[in-house]
Amino acid sequence: MKFRMQSVNAHGLHSPFMYRLATECFYDKTKFSEYKLLKNYYKQLAQDQRQIRVNDLGAGSKIFHSENRKIADISKVSGSSLKEMKFLFRLSRYFQPKSVLELGTSLGKSAFSLALGNPNASIITVEGSKSVCNIAKEYFEKNHIKNIELINADFDDFINGLTSRKFDFIYLDGNHRLKPTLDYFEKLLPFMHNDTVVILDDIYWSDEMKTAWNRLKKHPQVRQSIDTFHYGFLFFRKEQYPEDFIVNL
Ligand SMILES: C[S@@+](CC[C@H](N)C(=O)[O-])C[C@H]1O[C@@H](n2cnc3c(N)ncnc32)[C@H](O)[C@@H]1O
């Protein structure tokens, strides 16, 4: 309720950068032909009745109580919905990032959507659970996607091993806890630039995530933020007036 009362639509966004993002991406109603491929990927997972053994990493699950899980159930509980896949596709299509980092692959629904949005992007996606990673790999191959590099590692190990590179787009969707989220952001800062877009998933998932979001949007290097309730966007664009937006998708 509070979110809805504070949020605006495109007409409440006076910054041209934000207005364009909202009208040309957030609220774009075009039925892109790629949506069929997203739906297909989504449906394949929803019908996959195989069971795998998953070792929970990060904040764990609020739903699963056993390590043995059906792929269809993992997809439903911890992966992007079809609507979210379409949204991520549009974001990637709109921003055209050359270099993308995702922390938290799960079964690859978000990475696949980002990859389809910009086939010229090189996408690195990191997943700590080996069994989940194997399924994502299988699905990327089955769906003929070539611009994703899937890395099976703990987020910390991956970030600590990064050397000189810059990401245009970073999507943080795993280990939804306060300290790790703040640490990942801080450690990834040297790998960002003025136009990097950082997106945090599930910013209202828990009190820890709400705190992480509130701290990150006040970070001295962050200039603007957008809170869409599900996602939190962080921007660094120095040329932009500092502002926080709440947008109802
Ligand atoms: C919410 S799911 C990702 C969903 C996916 N991005 C999508 O939209 O379909 C989070 C994933 O992060 C992984 N994860 C959590 N903590 C991790 C860590 N510390 N290192 C590596 N992977 C981690 C989990 O195994 C899980 O598969």
Taking only the tens of pLDDT, the chain with its 249 residues reads: 666 666 666 666 678 899 999 999 999 999 999 999 999 999 999 999 999 998 777 655 666 667 788 999 999 998 999 999 999 999 999 999 999 999 999 999 999 999 999 999 999 999 999 999 999 999 999 999 999 999 999 999 999 999 989 999 999 999 999 999 999 999 999 999 999 999 999 999 999 999 999 999 999 999 999 999 999 999 999 998 899 999 988
Task: Provide the β-strand partners of residue 243.
Answer: 224
Give the atom of ligand 1 at the shortest distance from the alpha carbon of 154. 20
Q: What is the pLDDT of residue 3?
A: 60
Q: Whose CA is nearest to atom 1 of ligand 1?
A: 78
Q: What is the pLDDT of residue 11?
A: 61
What is the domain extent for residue 215? Answer: 2-8+15-43+79-246
Confirm if 35 and 89 have CB atoms less than 8 A apart: yes
The answer as to whether 70 is a domain residue is no
Using a 6 Å cutoff on CB, does residue 57 contact ligand 1?
Answer: yes
The answer as to whether 151 is a domain residue is yes
Distance 137 CA to ligand 1 centre (A): 14
Give the atom of ligand 1 at the shortest distance from the alpha carbon of 132. 27
Q: Give the pTM.
A: 0.94
Q: Whose CA is nearest to atom 7 of ligand 1?
A: 79
Using a 6 Å cutoff on CB, does residue 80 contact ligand 1?
Answer: yes
**Identity (one letter) of the amino acid at 156?**
D
The answer as to whether 56 is a domain residue is no
The answer as to whether 21 is a domain residue is yes
Q: Whose CA is nearest to atom 26 of ligand 1?
A: 106
Confirm if 73 and 190 have CB atoms less than 8 A apart: no
How far is the C-alpha of 70 from the C-alpha of 210, rounded, in Å? 30
The answer as to whether 61 is a domain residue is no
User: Using alpha carbons only, how large is the chain's radius of gyration in Å?
Assistant: 17
The domain total for the chain is 1
The answer as to whether 69 is a domain residue is no
The answer as to whether 209 is a domain residue is yes
Q: What is the CATH number of the domain that holds 167?
A: 3.40.50.150
Q: Whose CA is nearest to atom 27 of ligand 1?
A: 106
The answer as to whether 220 is a domain residue is yes
Distance 111 CA to ligand 1 centre (A): 12
Q: Whose CA is nearest to atom 22 of ligand 1?
A: 128
